[in-house]
Amino acid sequence: MTFFQDFPVPPLPPRPRSQRHVPPPWVAAPAYELPAAVHLGKFVSRTPHMVVAVESADVFSTGCVFNLSWVLRRGEQSDEDWADLQDLFFHSGRGIRRGSGRQTGLMFGVEFPDGSKASTGVQIPYGLMEQGTDPKPPAVALNGGGGGGGDDEFSGTGTLWLWPLPPAGDLRLVAQWTDFGLQETSLMLDGGTLRQAAASVQPYWPEEGRTDG
């Protein structure tokens, strides 16, 4: 016997199993679904110095994720001005600039055929919302992806979660980034195509959704 073996190891007290937090459907895509991929490949905006594009959509049972990309190409800016743009490109934030009331940053929005619409420009982080303040549909949430750049260009990617699935008809996708001269611009997507794709969504564990009658 060694010195420390004379001391019995006390048992750990029982601990209740923690419950997985499931965010409301307007916040994010379902966790346990294999989405249906829909190729889109459209430019929301394309100018000599800037491109904003929607590449594809991942369709879930409750909504869809748009995969977005944007690129800023250098013009005649000096090294100092280009460095200032880099800070603005990656750190400007989104929505309403604090203290000014002015909408700035990269913003996206959607409009359904019936005229109902939503914007990331007034997006409040889910954790900061008061209880009972769930938005009316539709709702959108912009999430950053990655980005990089150098002396010639800056690029970024992100996803836009749209809840709920759009109805059949024209779905208007809108973008604006006034910091870089991108005024409000939009394109039309086919909401019916996205809704139909939801039929191909596959749950990870189908048996858990079964009810025995």
Q: Indicate whether 98 pLDDT > 90.
A: no
pLDDT (mean) for 177-205: 95
Per the document, the length of the chain is 213
pTM: 0.83
Predicted confidence at residue 127, as pLDDT, reads: 59
Average pLDDT over residues 126-150: 79
Nearest alpha carbon to residue 45 among 119, 108, 111: 108
Instruction: Examine the pLDDT at 212 and tell me if it is beyond 60.
Output: no
- ∠20-23-24 over CA atoms, to 5°? 140
Q: What is the pLDDT of residues 99-108, one digit of tens each?
A: 445 567 899 9
Of the given ranges (32-41, 72-81, 109-118, 202-211), which has the lowest mean pLDDT? 202-211
pLDDT of residue 11: 87
Please report the DSSP string for 89-136 in residue order: HHHS-EEEPTTT--EEE-EEEEE-TTS-EEEGGG---GGGSPTT-PPP
Give 4's pLDDT tier (boundaries 50, 70, 90): confident
The architecture of the domain spanning 34-119+137-201 is: Sandwich (2.60)
C-alpha distance from residue 123 to each of 52, 59, 128 (Å): 20, 22, 11
The per-residue pLDDT of the chain, averaged, comes to 87
Average pLDDT over residues 37-66: 96
Lowest mean pLDDT, pick from 6-20, 92-106, 129-143, 155-169: 92-106
Amino acid at 73: R
Band of residue 55 on the pLDDT scale cut at 50, 70, 90: very high
The residue ranking higher by pLDDT, 57 or 97, is 57
The three-class DSSP label of residue 191 is helix
pLDDT digits (tens, 9 = 90+) for 140-149: 999 887 888 8
